[in-house]
Structure 1
Amino acid sequence: MFSKVIKKFVGSRNDRLISGFGKTISQINNLEEKYQALSDEELKACTDDFRARISNGETIDDLLVEAFAVVREGSQRSLGMRPFDVQLVGGLVLNSGKIAEMRTGEGKTLMATLPAYLNALTGKSVHVVTVNDYLAQRDADWMAAVYNFLGLTVGVIKSGQAPDEKRKAYLCDIVYGTNNEFGFDYLRDNMTIDSEYLVQRKHNYAIVDEVDSVLIDEARTPLIISGPVESKINQSYIDLKRPVQSLVVKQTQLVNSLVSEANKLIKKGKLSDEEAAEAGLLLLKAKRGLPKDQKLQDLFQEQGTIKMMNSVESEYIAEKKTYLLDEDLFFSIDEQSNSVDLSDKGREALSPDNKDAFTIPDLGELLTDIDEKNLPDDQKQLEKEKIHKLHSDRSSKIHYLSQLLKAYALFDKDVEYVVQNGQVLIVDEFTGRVLPGRRFSGGLHQALEAKENVKIEKETQTLASITIQNYFRMYDKLS
């Protein structure tokens, strides 16, 4: 029978890992009749007995066999559901701090009650992490019948709860919630000045549903709490929107021309070294102009095209003349640094009468010029203040322009973000899920709002941040 249970788990290494559970499963099964003979009150009293034994020095490992047998009987009486051996094995795997893979319908929700109950006997709460608020509430309501029957309390944390309600939930033995909510509560606690207002307890043990999504796909995803910056909404995003749109159209036409020329060369078939270098140069310029251009991406599917481009790029880098690649472009994009640089051609297109309108002045040089002038000190100070203001205004203007160019050239609607109910919402690059409440930093989100003609919200600053991975590292045990 136990060999069939093993086959429920994937891989020969896993077979070896769980084969040692055979004896434990037999011991749990051998206690079934003992606990079936107890009354409801006697079965519930086992919880107090277990806790007393822990207080007297026993460990949860000492109690594991009895605790699992008690949960199995409690599940049968409260839910009419008896955990099978495969679920017992899953519970043992989770309790050991490993991952248990079970298909939908094989009872992983019920399985989680086994290690959750055992670890909650220490008096430290157990966090059961689900992928959304609906599942957290559903599973808590469903499994509460088992926990309550055995004398444990169950709480649920959800977004929008009042602090007192959350504090009460965290005091429960078993707490259900999403990874985001657990993480944000931790950040809010770290921003609290008075310990009286803390909601979370210590990080004892967490059981994570969809662990591959949470701890792999979203591992580096930061949880961020932001606050508004004390400043007015900058009109520059709106003022610069039309010039940027015009510039992006010109760049698109230019890139399409470069791609078309490269395509004609490539379609010829076998190319000479000179032709391959020419095609590679055209592709490299196009990539620096609009790396996400669809025609360019389609051409990159042709065998050898990327190699041609990389060969030319290596040569330009070695000879330190990459700046020459951008002379014909209106602006260049460095995907690696996620930056946009306006060229002289772009400055002239934006402001034909004054190219310096989009150039940051050399502050040191201008201040030195003022010092060398034969002016009264108060007049010099006034001139310096004007120069500082010019430098600040130009820097800000170029920053807004750069963010708008990124919004148009690097961020696609319904890919990197969506627009819902008049709001720009970020889409998680790993999971494809919409992330309400999160905003791109540095003014990029405002640029996207300007691009999509929705209300431009005030800029925000990061007050607290932690990645999903680093948050779950704080738990003593994780499965």
Structure 2
Amino acid sequence: MVLKLLQKIFPTKRERDIRQLLPLVEAINREYEQLHGLTDAELRAKTDLFRSIIRERTESYRQQIESLREQLRTRELSYEERLDVYDRLAKLDEEEYRLIQATLDELLPQAYAVVKEACRRLAEMQYTYEVVGHQVVWDMVPFDVQLMGAIVLHQGKIAEMATGEGKTLVAVMPLYLNALAGRGVHLVTVNDYLARRDAEWMGPVFRLLGMTVGCIQSQMSIPERKRQYQCDVTYGTNSEFGFDYLRDNMALDPNDIVQREHWYAIVDEVDSILIDEARTPLIISGPVVSSNEEFVRMNPRVRRLVEVQTRLINQIVAEAERLLRSGDKEDRERAGKLLLQAHRGLPKHKRLLKLLADADVKQLLHETELYYLRDQGIHLHELDEELYYTIDEKTHQVDISEKGRQLLANTGEDPDMFLIPDVGTEISVIEQNPELTTEEKQRRKDEIFRLYAERSERVHVVNQLLRA
């Protein structure tokens, strides 16, 4: 009784946050109800209206900033005078940024309501389109909890949402709102497939509201990248955005610079990208074996790897079939393990797919997977170490096991040539070695960077061939 009373008097942090968000959610829904009677053209005109409000409020700042930049371009200024101009520019940029943010905060209920209305219209007309080669019917309209997540993302905070709760849709609202400033916004995700999927999936909403959507993919040319970055909203991976930034800073010709200023970004899987992957630096290396040469070298090795894995999966699936026929409980459990193992090794294996067409077998696979995924999946290595490589269908990632690296390496070669070094750890070991001179430390660091670039390229080629 006392505990319940205290909880009412002293709500949790989560409850306090929700209370602060509810008035905004109610305001969005009020605005949303007033948009139903608009035509599509009138709804699209809301985007132009929002943009014009921001332009009008920031016009004086833009004029002052352009005037100062013109001075830098055309006038002969002393070193002290140039420093003074740069200081004034920085101050004006900061003041303009604060004004734009205040304006966006003011426009948030209307802008989010416009996005919600666009979603409703697409759902009502059962809008059908293609996403990464599959026909999709739009059926999503943001719920209140998704509106809350979208508000939190605009505020620069982390929104934690489980798979299937609509993270991709939630991101559309803050992306639309912040793109109104005309500076371009980025959605950072973990791989090329997800970047393309999300750009194509959410594209109809942005286009209905008069915004352009781009997507950065590996192997794109400089002109094509530039076109994608000129869009209002650009989807891409952390590595592509990072390498484009590095290349822009090394560009000798201004026409080779592809990115615009960095204004606003949402990072998907933020823990993975900003913590796990942040331990591996992005390095633009010197000359290494070209991708084409590496493809030629790796192709027969990968073919050998796939053939051996396919034979292994054939045996695993055949054994699972035999165990399923016995009807014994222990045999059923062993069959579940084998089914999961086969699914992680070759998810598109024809005999496996035929087995999984049976609802009971599919349920067994699901139950076994849940068992092995508990405790953050620490038991999965028991299955994976017997395979040559594993394929994660959800993330489209391929992981080569120790057995796989041994098979890929030719006689006399080091299997570690397919293992990417942990640069952060290696650099730390070098820095903490008191016996090394400064020159020797730098030499060893350069060697680590060279090794990282070489092996990253090789592993990337192998993964591409395995996905083919």
* TM-score, normalised via structure 1 length: 0.48
The structure showing larger relative contact order (alpha-carbon pairs under 8 Å, at least 6 residues apart) is: 1
Q: Report the structure, 1 or 2, having the larger strand content.
A: 1
Structure with larger Rg = 1
